[in-house]
Structure formats: C-alpha cells, structure tokens
A and B are shown apart, each in its own frame.
Chain A
Amino acid sequence: MERFEITLPSLHVSALQQSALCGVVSSGNLEVMIEANSTPESCHFEVNTSADGFQDIWRAVLADFSERHKVGGLNISINDAGATPAVVSLRLTQAYEESQEGSDA
C-alpha cells in the first residue's frame, strides 16, 4: 500500500450539490469520494493505492483532471485496488458529475 496527498490548483467549483461516492474497491477498480473543503482555489487529493511506485502517473492523471474540471474547493479521497489510469480518470469524472448533478435516484 502507498498513501500520499497532493494539492493542485484548479478553478473554483461552480456549486457542490452534494458529496459523492463512486466505484467499489475491487481488483482493478477504485472508489472516489468527493467532499467540500475550505480552499476555493485548489483541490486536495488523498490517494491510498495497493500498487506501489506509481506516484508520477497518479500526479499526471490528477493534474489532467484538475485542469479539465473546476474542482477548486473539493477534497477527493481515493481507495484504489490497482485500477489503470484510464479507469481512474473515468471514475474521477463520474464522481465529479454525480456531485454536480445530484443523485440519480
């Protein structure tokens, strides 16, 4: 297991409708939880991953996500069980969209 935190600059999120949790911690998958924080101009990531030694790739994926979406003012917590970068990227977007739209229930 490897744990690290990264804070990245991002535009302030328009409005966080609700916290969101997407995905399940199973092999090749991950869960992403989005909550509000008190720093409007940056996004704070906490990553717990079962795959050691991939911090550079995580940084690239998270930086790309922070650029594409307005996620300033959010805490994003991740429990990962060896998901590929593409899956990570999709889950992040899914969780972001759910936090923006409100529940689909």
Chain B
Amino acid sequence: MHNKRVSFFEATARTRVSTLVDSGSFTEFCPPSKRFTSPHLARLDAPVAFDDGVVVGSARLDGQPVFIVAQEGKFNGGAVGEVHGAKIRGLLDRAAVEKPVAVLLLVDSGGVRLHEANAGLIAISEIMRALMATQAAGVPVFALVGGSCGAFGGMGIVTRLCDEVIMSEEGRLGLSGPEVIETVKGVGEFDSRDRSLVWRVTGGKVRRALGEATQLVDDDVAAFREGAIAAMSPVQRSANDLATLKQQHATLVQRREKHAHTVDGIEVWRQAGFAHPEGVAMLSASAFNEQLNTSVAEVKS
C-alpha cells in the first residue's frame, strides 16, 4: 500500500488513520466541517480545534469493516474533553449496534483534559462503560499505542480494558505520568527527565514483557496495520466473567510479589528470561519478540 515507511510516533492522527486502513476506505463521522469544538476551551479563551483533537469513523482493514478512533496528541496532549470523549463514546455505542469486525483505538493521550475537569472525567467513565458494552456485544476493541503522549490517566485504564494492546517501544502506558509521580513523590522516586529510565519503566518493551501489551511492533504505521490485522483473526478470548476477573487479580498479586523490589525495566527483562537485559532497549521489535518467545518456551518446557 505505502512503500515509504511512515513513523507512527511522528505522524498526525489523520495521517495515522489514512495510512493504517485500506487506501481511501475511511469515512469520518462528525468531521471537522461540522465544527464540533469545545465550548469549555472557548469559555477559557483557549484555542479550539475543529475536530476537538480526535478523529472517528468507519473504514476497511484488509477488506473487513472496522471502526477507528485516533487521538491527536499534539492538541492539548490528546487529552479527553467533553466533545472529544462524546465522539469516542458515540463511536463505541454505534459499534455495539452495527458490529464491525473490530474497533481500533489509536490512543495518544495524557488522560482527562484538565480545562474541562468534571466533564472530562465523566467522558472517560462513559468511554469505559461503552467500551465494555461493545465488547459484550461481541465486538473486540484493540488499542494501538505509539504516539508521543502514550496512554496515561483515564486513557491508560481504557487501553487496559481493550482485548489487544499493540505497542511500539516508543509508545508508553501507565496511570500516573512520570512528571506527576516526580511531583508527588520526589525526584528520588522517579526522575521524569531521565528519558531512558522513563521508557524502561513505561515503554512498549517493558509492557510487552509484563504481558500488558499483547504485541510489540516497530514504529511504523504498516507494522501497526499488520498487528491489527493479525488481531482480527478469530481467537478464543477469555470470558469477561467473575472467575476470569478473580484469576486476573490473583495474577496481579503474584506479579506484585515477584516484582516487589523491581525499580527498573531491566529487572523485568531479566526475569522474563532475556539473556542480555541491558541490551534489550536496542533490539528491533522482531529480535525482541523472538527472544521473548524463546524464553517463554524455555520456562514452560
């Protein structure tokens, strides 16, 4: 489709959408010409965007119908305001009715848009509820995380609700962002200016080693596309019932015990069985996946 590599990290939300799905297949809902802009930002005398920082619509992926959401991390850090959130929630509601093969959520967000306070918080909770209703209707939701803002705050939780989490090393996933942790707990707890440390603790490779991300791909829109296509093939997903939830909680308790003294991603990679954990940051996605699969196989055998 595209011969030239398109960096997911560098691309705008619109470029990510147009290069990820089948060429020319995207139809936007609530397009910028409708001017659904944020009334809160206008009241605060702050600049607005015609799409309120999120692109939503339907498309085809490998010939199959999908719905897609792409947050624009460059507009207010991809943060979720009332209109932005309503667009995502509305798309998920529609997916539960129209039942596309999957919903792709291109997350690039620091969480709630602070300018919009309660309206933003409510929007996040509406997205969570709608996402689970969509899953309950039989439509899987995939998170694709590889933008500069990562997936933090409420959007970090939304990401973890998804059936698949596809990340690049550049993508980050967490609840409180590094700056927030440093502000609250001090620089001794977490130095947010140590970029290498930030990525070793929140980046795609550590999330994949912990099993939170289900796929690690290179920073290339085509690689994210392949990952999403692979995720669409029918698989038996674990049921969203109480027994599964209890089992997941038990796994988290075990993980907490296992990593009680872990302060760096290097320890996670060592425990995951990487022979040279210090060198993991330099591995390509394919080399990383190969070594991860080998070590998992060794543990099992």
List chain A positions with a Cβ less than 8 A from chain B: 1, 19, 21, 24-26, 29, 31, 33, 35, 48-50, 77, 79-81, 103-105
List chain B positions with a Cβ less than 8 A from chain A: 12, 14, 18-19, 23-24, 26, 32-33, 45-51, 72, 74-75
Q: Which residues of B contact A80 (CB under 8 A)?
A: 47
- Give Cα distance in the complex from A42 to B46, angstroms: 30
Q: Which residues of B contact A19 (CB under 8 A)?
A: 33
B18 in complex: contacting residue of A48, A50, A103, CB < 8 Å: A103
Report the nearest B residue to A49, measured CB to CB: B47
Q: Which residues of A contact B14 (CB under 8 A)?
A: 21
Q: Which residues of B contact A77 (CB under 8 A)?
A: 50
- Give Cα distance in the complex from A21 to B13, angstroms: 12
Shortest CB-to-CB span from A54 to chain B, Å, is: 14
A81 in contact with B47 given A21-B14, A24-B74 (CB within 8 Å): yes
Shortest CB-to-CB span from B195 to chain A, Å, is: 20
Asked whether, in the complex, the Cβ of B50 is within 8 Å of the Cβ of A48, the reply is no
A35 in contact with B74 given A25-B49, A105-B26 (CB within 8 Å): no
Report the nearest B residue to A29, measured CB to CB: B74
Q: Which residues of B contact A50 (CB under 8 A)?
A: 46-47
Apart from the given pairs A29-B74, A105-B23, 7 other A-B contacts in the complex at a CB distance below 8 Å = A24-B72, A25-B74, A25-B75, A33-B32, A48-B47, A48-B48, A105-B19
Asked whether, in the complex, the Cβ of B49 is within 8 Å of the Cβ of A31, the reply is yes
- Give Cα distance in the complex from A79 to B14, angstroms: 17
Asked whether, in the complex, the Cβ of A24 is within 8 Å of the Cβ of B75, the reply is yes
Report the nearest A residue to B23, measured CB to CB: A105
Number of A-B contacts (CB under 8 A): 47
Asked whether, in the complex, the Cβ of A33 is within 8 Å of the Cβ of B33, the reply is yes
- Give Cα distance in the complex from A24 to B45, angstroms: 18
Which 9 A-B residue pairings sit nearest by Cβ, starting from the closest? A105-B18, A26-B74, A24-B74, A25-B49, A81-B47, A1-B45, A50-B47, A21-B32, A25-B47
- Give Cα distance in the complex from A35 to B51, angstroms: 15
Report the nearest A residue to B48, measured CB to CB: A79
Q: Which residues of B contact A33 (CB under 8 A)?
A: 32-33, 50
Report the nearest B residue to A26, measured CB to CB: B74
Shortest CB-to-CB span from B33 to chain A, Å, is: 6
Asked whether, in the complex, the Cβ of B50 is within 8 Å of the Cβ of A79, the reply is yes
Shortest CB-to-CB span from A41 to chain B, Å, is: 23
Which among A31, A77, A104, A105 has the highest number of chain B CB atoms within 10 Å?
A105
- Give Cα distance in the complex from A105 to B72, angstroms: 18
Which among B26, B45, B50, B72 has the highest number of chain A CB atoms within 10 Å?
B50
Report the nearest A residue to B28, measured CB to CB: A21
- Give Cα distance in the complex from A73 to B19, angstroms: 30
- Give Cα distance in the complex from A50 to B41, angstroms: 12
Asked whether, in the complex, the Cβ of B50 is within 8 Å of the Cβ of A21, the reply is yes
Report the nearest A residue to B14, measured CB to CB: A21
Report the nearest B residue to A20, measured CB to CB: B32
Asked whether, in the complex, the Cβ of B75 is within 8 Å of the Cβ of A35, the reply is no
Q: Which residues of A contact B12 (CB under 8 A)?
A: 24
Report the nearest A residue to B12, measured CB to CB: A24
Asked whether, in the complex, the Cβ of B26 is within 8 Å of the Cβ of A31, the reply is no
Report the nearest B residue to A102, measured CB to CB: B24
Q: Which residues of A contact B46 (CB under 8 A)?
A: 1, 50
